Structure 1
Amino acid sequence: MGKDIQEDKGMLQEVDRKLRLLIGAFTGILYEDDDIFMEKMRRKKNLPEEELQKYAHWEWTQGVGLYGIWKLFAASGEKEYLEILTRYYDRQQQVGFPQCNVNTVTPYLTMSYLAEYLQSEVYMKPCREAAEWVMYQMPRTREGGIQHMTSDDVNEQELWDDTLVMTVLFLANMGRILDREDYRNEAQYQFMVHMKYLQDPKSGFWYHGWTFLERNHFAGAFWGRGNCWITIAIPELLSSIPCSEPVERILKEALCNQVDALAECQAESGMWHTLLDDPESYEEASATCGFAYGILRGVHCGLLEEKWLEVAERVLKPVLALISEEGVLGQVSYGTPMGRENREFYKEIPLRPMPYGQALAILFLVEWKKGHT
């Protein structure tokens, strides 16, 4: 028994040490220029350079990263994490906000939490404007789904699983903060319509996307990180706003089905592959952290049975091993557009340190600590 306690204490100390390293590296990665993205924007958009710079550090990659820091602040109350957030948003206020789309809405999620916490109308005003745009102006597909329009592509009549985390969680949170029933209802509807077209009833996994124009799932890929957005999004939505009883039941069962399938395809290492059903595709760290966080969050929220804790626990050692002494999470796949023609596309996505990789590791380790302290 004494040995077990000593091992647990040692593991907690190592988790705390790696968390500090992740946070230390976070700011540098947060403000790192994404040359690939910016070059693509210059090529596709006829915008002056001053306007393009509004997009440089205000995308989904930063948005997910900031959410990890917000969760860390909410759990610890440490002032340094709050300062990371206020410094980022104050800087963007000076640069200006880009045109809203699915990806540029993502940073508003943390901004809305921050505005509420600080009771700051300076932060809340842009959130109000973004929420109204999402609710009433954002392009929709048939059946009223949010079209996955990004900074550089319209993606006409396309639903992507990324959208639920990137945009819909923000709308739900604004519905909570402002007591807007229309926002809350729309958020629930978006989860339902995305589930209708993206969840595979046979496997329990979610396809990366659906096109109403061609009425198919593109390459038919069960992409790892895309699926982890679902594992995260369902517990986050259900713990953020009160959902109708049928919606809550449906989402809970969808999560259970997905986690059951995830347990079946978890690699021997404890990781998951970038294509969940293809063990020849590389093991990918951001999806693995996202799955582990979502599973732990689901258990802690009462959505999942405790038997699934073991699945998340298997992730800890390989993830800690992938966090370098410089604080960078390795084995993270770069931002991934839709694989439209074949599944091999996902295997060729390069590995690169990214803010969302840091954040998903932070989310996982913070949630892991809740069950061990």
Structure 2
Amino acid sequence: MNQPSVEKVIEQVIAQMKHLKSPIEETCPIGIVSMDNWEWPQGVGLHSMYLYYRSTKRMEILQELVEWYDGQMVKGLPPKNVNTMCPMLTLTYLYEETGREDYLALCREWVGYVMKEMPRTEEGGIQHVVSGQLNEGELWDDTLYMTVLFIARMGVIVKEDSLVQESIRQFLLHLKYLTDRRTGLFFHGWTFQGRHHFAEALWARGNSWYTAGLVDYLDMVTLPDGVKSVLLTALESQVRTLANLQSAEGMWHTLLNDQTSYVETSATAAFAYGILKAIRKGYLSTEFMDTGIKAWHAVVKQIDANGIVRGVSYGTGMGRTLQEYKDIPICPMPYGQSMALLMLVEGLEHQLTL
């Protein structure tokens, strides 16, 4: 049997992402498996689709994205929060592609909400409000990917430096409170109410939002050298520890420092994407190339013959115990498909083959 090409696997992964159905009873107020809904997993999927379009210039992909947003706008959007903000990132790019003023107006409305109405923690951090939960006083590492990237993009589009500066503030504030100084990894969350890191979980996917998000953030904005240096040294510190924690097969455990927790594919794919792109862009030394390539091949093995990415954990709230992370069910998810997509496309840049 002939080995499929990377391009063929990419097509299969995209096709499956569009038609995922939940094999488990969903616990989130808005379903996070089906691409028919507007939530953060769909936002991550849309972003990967757009970056794939930008790489290939295939107009049918752009048209599918436009149709998705138009359909959602007709249906009506959900209440604004950190997670439902995620699909807005790709809409900023679609505005640039299409010049549609209704897209820009919607983006302005939602970023205005972030800046003026979204609840804040002490020191002005974006409180990780999600659908059905206020999470008062809490900072989560997820917020950087779900909302802060959108803020940065809007600053560039509407030429408002205050938005870019706000994105910088949020990155630095989250680093300040979420960094585990012993390892260079990131805790899932911090609460100002009690001033602790909950279960002190060094959760894989939460960490991977930084790895994958930072390399895209640096494509979006021009940062002062001092700020860029802080963000990149944090990345290097994280990746150095990740290299030591990588499993023999190239995966990472859902609790990075706990080998009794299961290995998890979406985080591994996001780490592979971030590491490989960071090396290509000169942000990381080539000493980490083997780590990235090993992860790339490990994720490829988790993609079945139909293009479904296996070994992906369901949406994960803030765990009060480490066991809660181990108990999160595994099922196909849009962000598993999308992070695999980004990783595969980045692999083409490095001429990786299956």
The TM-score by the shorter chain falls in which range?
Answer: over 0.9
> Deviations along 1:18-61, whole A, 9 cap, x unmatched?
111101112112x76985245x469xxxxxxxxxxxx9711001
- The Cα offsets for residues 208-238 of structure 1, whole Å up to 9 and x where unpaired, read as 0000001000000000000000101222222
**1:358 maps to 2:348:** no
Cα distance per residue 1:148-194 (max 9 Å; x no partner):
00011000000000000000000001111111101000000000000
Matches within 5 A, 1:167-182: 167-182=147-162
**Is 1:299 matched with 2:279?**
yes
Question: Secondary structure of the equivalent of 1:210?
Answer: strand
Residue 15 of structure 1, CA deviation: 1.6
Q: Give the structure 2 partner of residue 346 of structure 1.
A: 325
Q: CA deviation at 1:117?
A: 1.4
What per-residue deviation string (whole Å, max 9, x for no partner) do you get for residues 314-370 of structure 1?
Answer: 023221221112211000000000002x11110000001111110000000011111
Q: Does 1:368 pair with 2:341?
A: no
Q: Which aligned segments of 4 or more residues in structure 1 are displaced greater than 2 angstroms?
A: 31-35
Choose which of 37, 45, 55 in structure 2 pairs with 1:75. Answer: 55
SS at match of 1:19: helix
How do 1:3-14 and structure 2 match up within 5 A?
14=5
SS in 2 for 1:102: coil
1:197 — aligned with what?
Answer: 177
Q: Please say if 1:328 is aligned against 2:308.
A: yes
Deviations 1:246-289 (A, max 9, x none): 11110010000000000000000001110000111101000000
Q: Which residue of 23, 26, 47 maps to 2:14? A: 23
The answer on 1:154 being equivalent to 2:144 is no
What is the TM-score with the length of structure 2 in the denominator?
Answer: 0.94
Q: Which residue of 2 aligns with 1:4?
A: none
**CA shift for structure 1 position 299:** 1.3
- What is aligned with 1:46? none
Q: How does 1:95-244 map to 2 (within 5 A)?
A: 95-244=75-224
Which of 243, 253, 259 matches 1:263? 243
Q: Which amino acid aligns with 1:21?
A: Q
Whether the aligned pair in 2 keeps the contact of 1:41 and 1:152 (CA below 8 Å) is no
Distance (whole Å) between structure 1 residues aligned to residue 30 and residue 92 of structure 2? 27
Give RMSD over aligned pairs.
1.8
* Contact kept? 1:60, 1:107, Cα under 8 Å: yes
1:157 partner amino acid: G
Q: Distance in 1 between matches of 2:132 and 2:281?
A: 37
1:90 is aligned, of 70, 82, 90, to 70
Structure 2 equivalent of residue 52 of structure 1:
none
Structure 1: distance between partners of 2:27 and 2:258:
28
Distance 1:153 1:107 in 2: 19
| Aligned-residue identity in percent | 42
Does the Cα contact within 8 Å between 2:251 and 2:264 map onto a contact in 1? yes
> In terms of mean alpha carbon deviation, does 121-130 or 182-191 score higher?
121-130
Q: Match of 2:40?
A: 60
- Higher mean C-alpha displacement, 165-174 vs 133-142: 133-142
8 A Cα contact 2:46 2:87, kept in partner: yes
Contact 2:30-2:37 within 8 A present in 1 as well: no
1:143, distance to aligned residue in structure 2 (A): 0.4
SS at structure 1 position matched to 2:5: helix
2:26 is aligned to 36
C-alpha contact 2:23 2:331 (8 A) present in aligned 1: no
Consecutive unaligned residues of structure 2, counting only runs of 5 or more, are none
Q: Distance in 1 between matches of 2:151 and 2:84?
A: 13
Q: Give the stretch that moved more between structures: 133-142 or 232-241.
A: 232-241
